[in-house]
């Protein structure tokens, strides 16, 4: 139930946001760590309201609802952060496919890895664009967002290096039984 806490956390740091505001936040800053669709977000806002963790603090034009975290919501967030352990979900379709690369031709293997490397380069460019666009302040979200951003950079660099290594490995296999 992490989407719930992602919403709660975001709202705790940006009180008075609307679903639409949060959606953009998910797109730019949270995209790399926890994705959410618009549909999911609005649904979760409704559930959080029903559960008393957030409330509508203001209604604006176009039906805009600004939400705020309640005391119960803050407590829930604290509980989540300090009393529950994150579970590592290990699901990576890119790597899953590497497992089965023996089922295609050598050309397709190489094409695959090169394609993924290209995607990575795109994402790297994307993260750098965000880094420049965002005005990094001294608020908590900026402070910890920077840590996450640095992680993203290291992650992508690591993957790229691995892909280059894997390509070399395919070219020149280290056979013990040549």
Residues of this chain that bind DNA (CB under 7 A): 1-4, 18-21, 23-24, 35-40, 42-43, 45-46, 60-65, 89, 91
Q: Residue 131 CB, nearest distance to DNA (Å)?
A: 21
- Binding residues for a copy of itself, rule: CB under 8 A, are 2, 5-6, 9, 12-13, 29-35, 77-78, 81-82, 85-104, 108, 112, 115-116, 119, 123, 138-141, 143-145, 147-148, 150-151, 154-155, 158, 161-162, 165-166, 169, 173, 175-177
Contacts of 68 (CB under 8 A, 6+ apart): 11, 15, 16, 54, 55, 57
Partner whose binding site includes residue 143, from a copy of itself, DNA, none (CB under 5 to 8 Å by kind): a copy of itself
Q: Residue 37 CB, nearest distance to a copy of itself (Å)?
A: 12
Report yes or no: 74 and 12 within 8 Å, Cβ to Cβ. Answer: yes
Q: Residue 84 CB, nearest distance to DNA (Å)?
A: 12
Query: What is the C-alpha to C-alpha distance for residues 162 and 178, in angstroms, rounded to an integer?
Result: 24
Q: Residue 79 CB, nearest distance to DNA (Å)?
A: 15
Residue 55 forms beta bridges with which residues? 68
If the CB atoms of residues 35 and 106 are measured against DNA, the closer one turns out to be: 35
Phi and psi at 15, nearest 5°, equal -55, 140
Report yes or no: 19 and 65 within 8 Å, Cβ to Cβ. Answer: yes
Query: What is the C-alpha to C-alpha distance for residues 78 and 84, in angstroms, rounded to an integer?
Result: 10
């Amino acid at each position: 139930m992490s989407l719930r806490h992602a919403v709660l956390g975001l709202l705790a740091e940006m009180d008075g946001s609307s679903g639409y505001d949060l959606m953009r936040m998910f797109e730019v800053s949270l995209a790399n760590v926890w994705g959410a669709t618009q549909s999911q977000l609005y649904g979760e806002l409704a559930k959080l309201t029903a559960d008393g963790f957030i409330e509508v603090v203001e209604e604006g034009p176009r039906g805009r609802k600004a939400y705020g975290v309640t005391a119960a919501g803050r407590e829930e967030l604290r509980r989540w952060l300090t009393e529950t352990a994150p579970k590592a979900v290990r699901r990576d379709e890119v790597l899953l496919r590497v497992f089965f690369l023996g089922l295609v031709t050598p050309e397709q293997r190489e094409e695959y890895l090169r394609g993924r490397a290209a995607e990575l380069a795109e994402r790297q460019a994307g993260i750098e664009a965000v880094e420049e666009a965002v005005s990094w302040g001294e608020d908590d979200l900026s402070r910890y967002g920077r840590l996450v951003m640095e992680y993203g950079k290291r992650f992508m660099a690591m993957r790229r290096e691995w892909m280059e290594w894997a390509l070399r490995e395919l070219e020149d296999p280290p056979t013990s039984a040549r």
